[in-house]
Structure 1
Amino acid sequence: MNSLRVVFCGTPQIGADILKALIEMPNVEVAMVISQPDKKVGRKKLLTPTIVKKMALEYGIPIIQPVKISESYEEIKKANPDFIITCAYGQFIPTKILEIPNIDAINIHGSLLPKYRGGAPIQYAIKNGDSKTGISIMKMVKKMDAGDYYIQESVLIEPNDTAGTMFEKLGVLGANMIKKYLFQIANRELVPVAQNETEVTLSRNITTNEEMIDWYQSAKQINNHIRALAPTPIAHTYLKTERYKIKSARLLRSDEFFATTLNVKRPGEIVAMDREGIIIHTNQGFLKVLEIQRSGKTMISAGLYFANRLTDLRVGDVFGELMI
C-alpha cells in the first residue's frame, strides 16, 4: 500500500503526540482532525482551543469540533479516509461513522486491555498500585473499548510517576507504535486478538467526590491516590470547612519518623512539620505532604508551614470530611 488517508480524533496532549506522529509519517496524509469544542478555562473563563486543535492549525490541517460527532457524518465521509484513528477524543463514535473508513477505525488506548476500559485508565493504574501499564491499538466497536486489539506494548510505572509523567510516557509509546504498526494493520499483517471478557475492569472518569483523600486508607494507598490525580485535577481533603489540595507527597520510612498509637490516634492527624513538609498519620503508616494548596490560595511547598510559621495548619489538626 503506497499511501494512507487518515481522519484523526483527539483532544489532550497525548492525542497531540499521536497526531504529530501521523503528520511525520511518510505516505500518510492527515485529511482532517476532529477535536472537542473550545472550552472556557481559568478564572477569566477565556475560550481556549484544545491542544490537538492548536497542532492541526499549526500544520494547516482542516479541523472540525462538533458537539456531537454524529453531526459531522457527511464531512467525514467526504474526507474518504482509509483510517479513522482516535486517541483520548472524549466522545463515543457511532457505528455509522466507524463504518466510513476504507480499512478500519482504530483507537490508541492507554491500558493493557481488557484492563481499564473507560476514560481514566492511566489514573486507575497508578491509583491501584500497578507496576506497569501500556498502549493497546484496538479496533473500535460500539461498546466502550471492547474491540479486538491489534497490538499491545507495556511500560513500567515507577514509584514517583504521576498521571502527568505517565501520560508523557504513553504519548511517546503510542506515537512510536502508530509509526511502527499502522502500515502493518493496513496490509493485514497483524491479526486482531479478542479481549477476554472475564478479565475486564473499568476505569470510569473520576468524579469530584472520588478526588477526596480517605485518611483511613494506608499511607501507600493515599500516596497512589495523590499521584494518580497529579498534576490535575489534584487530590483534596478538608480541615473543618476549609478545602486543601495536595499535589505531591511521599511515604516515610520507619527510620525517618517514630510515633506510637498512644499519642497518634486519628487517621488524618498532623503529627509533625519540618522544612520539607507536613507529616500525617494514616490508618497504616505516615505520609509526608510536599505540596499543598489552601482554597483560594496558590500551591506552595508544605515545608513553608514550618519555615514561615504559617498558622492555618498546626500539629494536632485532623484532616477529614467536610464539616458544615
Structure 2
Amino acid sequence: MEKIKVIFCGTPQIGAEILIALTEMPNVEVVLVISQPDRPVGRKKELKPTPVKEVALKNNLKIIQPIKISEAYDEIAQIESDFIVTCAYGQFVPTRILDLPKVDSINIHGSLLPKYRGGAPIQYAIKNGDSETGISIMKMVKKMDAGDYYIQESVKIEDFDDTGTMFEKLAKLGQKMIKENLVKIFNNELSPIAQVEEEVTFSKNITSEEEKINWDDLSINIWNHVRSLSPWPIAHTFKGERRYKIQKVKILNNKIEKRAGTIVDINENGIDVQTKDGQVQIELIQKPGKKMMKASEYKLTNLADLKVGDHFE
C-alpha cells in the first residue's frame, strides 16, 4: 500500500515522542510538522526550539511554526494528507483545517475521555488522587476534546508517580497506540465511540494561584497537589513575602495539634509542617533565587531562614 500521509501538530516532549513513533512507522510519511513558535527560556531568555521541532529537524521534516495556525491555512491546504494527528499542540485547530485530510483529523489525549477534557488532564488525575489515567485517540471537532474516540487504554498511577513520570508513561503508551491503530483507522477497522456527555469533566490550565499549597487541607490532598505539579510548574507556599517552591513531600502520621501551616520540626529528614489532619514532611524545597535542594540539608546551610514555629500562609 502507499504510505499514509500525516500532518503532525505538537509542541512539548510528549508530542515529540508521538512524532518519533510516526517516523518509525514504515507505512507512514510525515509530510508536515506544525509546532508552536520557539519561546525564550532561562534567565538569558534565549530562544529554544520546541521538543517537537527538534525531532522534526533531526528527521529532516518540513516544519512550520505559525503564531496562529489559522494563518497557515493556505500553506497546509497545499499539502496532500490522509490524517492530521495532534498531541499537545497548544492551539485550537479551526474546522476548515481539520477538514483538509482525506481520512480524518485525530488527537492523542492524555486522559480516559470524557474525563478531563482540556489542557491539564495528567495534573488533574494526580491531584484528584485517581488510581489510573490513560490515552484516548479521538476524532477532532470544533468543541474542545469532545469528539468521538476510536480507542482508549489505561495505565496505573502509582504512589511514586508525579506529573513527570506520568508524562513518560503516557508518551510510551501513546507511541504504542498510534503504531497499533493508525492503519486500523485508515482501513475503517475501528468504529468511533461517542463520549457520554453526562460524565464530562474538565481540566483547565493551572494558574499560578492554583499552584499555591493550602496547608489547611488533608495531608493526602497536599501530597497529591505537590506531586501533580512536579517537576513543573512546582507547587509553592509563602512565609511573609518570600515564596518557597515545594517539589516533594511525604505524609507523616504525627497528630500534634498546631495551626495549619506551622513548621513543627526541622530535622535530618526534612521540614515537618502541620496540616488539617496531621503533618507532611517537605523533602525538596527552593528558597527564592536559589536552587532546589533537599530539605534535610536546609538547616545545615547558610541559606537557612526557616525555624520551628514559623508559619506558612
TM-score (norm 1): 0.95
Which of 270, 273, 284 is the equivalent residue of 1:277?
Answer: 270
Q: Is the 8 A contact 1:304 1:310 kept in 2?
A: no
Q: Is the 8 A contact 1:134 1:170 kept in 2?
A: yes
Q: Offset at 1:243?
A: 0.4
- Specify the alignment match of 2:231 in structure 1: 231
- Specify the alignment match of 1:318 in structure 2: 311
Q: In structure 2, what residue type is equivalent to 1:175?
A: Q
- Specify the alignment match of 2:207 in structure 1: 207
Q: Offset at 1:309?
A: 7.1
CA distance in 2, matches of 1:154, 1:76: 33
Determine what percentage of the aligned residue pairs are the same residue: 60
Q: Offset at 1:191?
A: 0.3
Q: Offset at 1:259?
A: 4.4
Q: Offset at 1:204?
A: 0.4
Q: In structure 1, what residue type is equivalent to 2:283?
A: L
Q: Is the 8 A contact 2:213 2:225 kept in 1?
A: yes
Superposed counterparts of 1:134-149, under 5 Å: 134-149=134-149
RMSD over aligned CA atoms reads: 1.0
- Specify the alignment match of 2:154 in structure 1: 154
Superposed counterparts of 1:92-111, under 5 Å: 92-111=92-111
Call closer, same or farther: CA 1:306–1:57 in 2, change over 3 Å.
same
Matched, 1:180 2:174: no
Matched, 1:221 2:221: yes
CA distance in 2, matches of 1:79, 1:311: 59
Superposed counterparts of 1:22-101, under 5 Å: 22-101=22-101
Q: In structure 2, what residue type is equivalent to 1:234?
A: I
Matched, 1:260 2:256: yes
Cα displacement string for residues 190-237 of structure 1 (whole angstroms, at most 9, x for unaligned residues):
000000000000000000100000111111101101101111110000
133-142 vs 213-222, which moves further:
213-222
TM-score (norm 2): 0.98
CA distance in 2, matches of 1:309, 1:58: 45
Q: Offset at 1:76?
A: 1.3
Q: Is the 8 A contact 1:279 1:286 kept in 2?
A: yes
CA distance in 2, matches of 1:241, 1:310: 16
Q: Is the 8 A contact 1:274 1:307 kept in 2?
A: no
71-80 vs 59-68, which moves further:
71-80
Q: In structure 2, what residue type is equivalent to 1:313?
A: L
CA distance in 1, matches of 2:230, 2:61: 32
Q: Is the 8 A contact 2:255 2:278 kept in 1?
A: no
- Secondary structure of the corresponding residue to residue 303 of structure 1: helix
Q: In structure 1, what residue type is equivalent to 2:256?
A: T
- Secondary structure of the corresponding residue to residue 29 of structure 1: strand
Q: Offset at 1:150?
A: 0.1
CA distance in 2, matches of 1:133, 1:155: 6
Q: Which runs of 5+ in 1 are unaligned?
A: none
Structure 1 segments, 4+ long, off by >3 Å, are 306-311
- Specify the alignment match of 1:18 in structure 2: 18
Q: Offset at 1:305?
A: 2.3
CA distance in 2, matches of 1:218, 1:109: 30
CA distance in 1, matches of 2:181, 2:113: 17
- Specify the alignment match of 2:122 in structure 1: 122
Q: Is the 8 A contact 2:273 2:281 kept in 1?
A: yes
- Secondary structure of the corresponding residue to residue 291 of structure 1: strand
CA distance in 2, matches of 1:283, 1:179: 47
- Secondary structure of the corresponding residue to residue 80 of structure 2: coil
Q: Is the 8 A contact 1:226 1:235 kept in 2?
A: yes
Q: Which runs of 5+ in 2 are unaligned?
A: none
Cα displacement string for residues 42-89 of structure 1 (whole angstroms, at most 9, x for unaligned residues):
110001110000110011000000001011112112221100000000
- Secondary structure of the corresponding residue to residue 306 of structure 2: coil
Q: Is the 8 A contact 1:275 1:307 kept in 2?
A: no
- Specify the alignment match of 1:292 in structure 2: 285
CA distance in 1, matches of 2:108, 2:278: 38
- Secondary structure of the corresponding residue to residue 15 of structure 1: helix
- Secondary structure of the corresponding residue to residue 283 of structure 1: coil
CA distance in 1, matches of 2:304, 2:72: 56
